[in-house]
Structure 1
Amino acid sequence: MPIEQWLEAIPPLLVYAIVGLVIGFESLGIPLPGEIVLVTASLLASQHDDLSPLWIGVWATGGAIIGDNFGYLIGRRGGPRLFAWMGRKFPKHFGETQLDHARRVFQKRGAWAVFFGRFVALLRILAGPLAGSLHMNYGKFLVANALGGVVWAGGTTAAVYYLGVVAEKWLKGFSYAGLAIAVVFGIAGVFVVKRRLAKAAEKVEKAEKGEKSGASGTSVEDEAAAV
């Protein structure tokens, strides 16, 4: 059964809880479809009055912040064991190549990696555990984590919800076509936001490179940041 049909069949409070729990467990380091669940729930809210986009955003934000904080504590206490387990269970997502890539980004970017990582699938899953295992200052992590969670969850919910409302008004007589187009616009909107954030990070990278004298070539860290 598709996710949207499954979510339609359960009470609104349970929808909010599912959104928060899926995103929370994803932020702990478990590869779950948090972004897909958030986009689907936001689209459903644009089609059904009994679902509130505000509460979807609140639960999604809470799940993101709480999950990342637990991930930070787990990474600080048992980072190597956690990453070894994740590598065995999910080798395609958390092999040594992926983990080294994420570590280089975090070591170079610090709190900015936590904030921008919320918009990148791999870093969204690893942000908390990696920050903890690298002993990032908890205060900086908490602020970056909270801001990233609010902007990602709140921004995604609002953008997808209003795009769904607009599509529904224009295509009232074609409900299935309207929902399909709303899905396309919602996903496209998420990718546009990601692309703009990636460009912003790239500009920061270029500015830092310009300040360094005698630097030549492109390092692996620069490539990771650009991604």
Structure 2
Amino acid sequence: MEVDLTNIKTIGFDADDTLWVNETYFRETEENFAELLESYETKNKIDQELFKMEMKNLELYGYGIKGFMLSMVESALELSNNKISPEAILKILSLGKNMISHPVELLDGVEEVLAKLQPKYRLIVLTKGDLLDQERKLEKSGLSKYFNHVEVLSDKKEKNYMNLLEHLEINTNEFLMVGNSLKSDVIPIVNIGAKAIHIPFHTTWAHEMVSSEEEQVNDHLKLGSIRDILKYMN
């Protein structure tokens, strides 16, 4: 699909699974969590109940590792009928802490692309998650120098984007969003009249899945790599 990007002055980048690896570590932790509880339930049941717990707690805790940790603990108590040992709870907390302290793994081509775009465009980070954790990851990544602004949103809905663009005095027709999620980074952006680039990551959280009808959203580019942005923007 042809998308006119000639008016773009500001480019927003999602962080997790767009700039660096994230979802992979959640999947690995879920595997370890299921192993801890294998004496109580099947892996499939454990996965299902943990996801249900995450969705139940999302409005309360928001996105991010800390909320995920609390949901694991609560799920473990429910699945074990409160019989799980204190030692196992400590192991669950350790799984979460390991995620928080994990080295940041940049996706291929990210720094090269940012370095080439930064002199010509205003670059900002627009991501969801825990503020402290995202700030920590950005600092570890070494990418801070490329961005004019960093915003950690409670959610990525049309209203969130509109409020932020208004606050930053960015015209919607001059804004481009780059991310791995159709649900969070593309559909709401297109709906407010801005442009979007979708770069799928090999693993997608179930909460970010969209229907086949929603996948047909217009006014965005689907690229195989972040490097492909330079074909359109450089």
Q: Where on the TM-score scale, by shorter chain, does this alignment land: which range? A: under 0.3
TM-score scaled by structure 2? 0.27
Of Structure 1 and Structure 2, the greater strand share is in 2
Structure showing greater relative contact order (alpha-carbon pairs closer than 8 Å, 6 or more residues apart):
2
Of Structure 1 and Structure 2, the greater helix share is in 1
TM-score scaled by structure 1? 0.28
